[in-house]
Structure 1
């Protein structure tokens, strides 16, 4: 799922390269009822065109005005809105809310080369963090060997005097098996802003009529997954109940860095699955990564309820709770 909230750095760089004056506004801290998280961004052009958001309403008007001034004088800004601020009240921060916003003119403050490097990393699905010290105006990019907990939790914020803005690749869910549970699960995953892919070698199962607007690969999972990067932002769920379809996907997942691997089936089915994997050379430590039976135990019965339990378990695994 892609929205204008996802491609702010790309938009800023494109506008700058077209000769427009551009500034980036970034939420640096929040408290209370702020509607956008730390790291949320908006890009402002000198003709008042904007993309993205830093709050839920009228704070944007003040941010745009300051951004236009920053574009003219080439100086950064740090703005603060709190419960006593009229514009913050209008934006919905009245319940004890507070928000701070940093404004950086592109070129004068945020270097174009640095912005281009950020855009390139995002295009290559490399996890990076933009680190800025507002006091001494130091800016750099670091990879995910730094601040591993922030990368895992998708959580931007301050580390000492440094503001760390996390740029993770989009989340990706790959579902193996075009069964009934896959229908609500893929919809829920897209709502949770996962890129989704359905793999099933049986064309009759994965028709467009059953899965409208869904990316589908009607091939065997081992062949399909060999062409896909399975990284730490990827979840794989096997649902077909057919070992000849599910097992190749499970093996590929166990040999990768996927953050979640869940497999449908009863406890008895899962025991047989583990026996096959161990016979094929996978260790108990490796197979311990499998969530099986898949999903949180919420007594789910229907396909939609099972999909809810799977999505909840994926979220729990991703956020580390």
Structure 2
């Protein structure tokens, strides 16, 4: 079995082929060697071009969202605060892996210290869970706005938004701690070569010469307690939203109200659909080459950060209008 890109950040046990490992005995290493995309080393430079482009667009797009929300006072509301949290999460998520990945592709800089590897692992798990939690918060915002619009401003006050944000951060931060903690406890005596382009949890612990089932079991617990719970709450929110929309008197009112949810639904799709596809590939594609699985994992890290600002920039009238005014002002 292999680990899925999103689930690799929440911890399925998916052993990697060790065909790239050396067998020299040594004590716990101070550094690991990241292979990049095993089997595609000669194409690293070409692969880096779309990766670098996607990363640049993701960084520019998310910083643009943050700038517009900060400058436009009319956007200082719960929905846009949650959107800013999502943008920050996307920036941290992509930046925690892409610069090192590009160093491997461009300069063959494969070494990463043990502590840096564990830090990267923690950030991946923490911010991937945080991203999912923020989408739940945004689903709650849509639920209140549609099902109880008269009380939206009294329910989702700024202190409540802050508390929701802190809850998401604390949940993600605490649940991600066991990943690097457990990984740091295992003895490593076989190899320090990781057949991946970043410190994916299971790719690291599979190098340990110990029984790592506890890491696997915790990963499954984290998967069901975080992603399973988040998907459940999103589904419940949208069930209530759809019931409220169906009760509206006219079809125009129904379409207009549902249109306010399109951006959020697209953001959910950008996060969970690639995960679902990757899960199927890893679980049932037993003959899929390792380089293809690693490539999917790398691409998946960039899909949500790339698409989220584009989705909200295109679908949100207020953001689109502010962006157009910025360009118009510059041209005049």
TM-score class, shorter: under 0.3
Q: TM-score, normalised by structure 1?
A: 0.23
Greater relative contact order structure (CA < 8 Å, 6+ sep): 2
Higher helix share: 2
Higher strand share: 1
Q: TM-score, normalised by structure 2?
A: 0.22
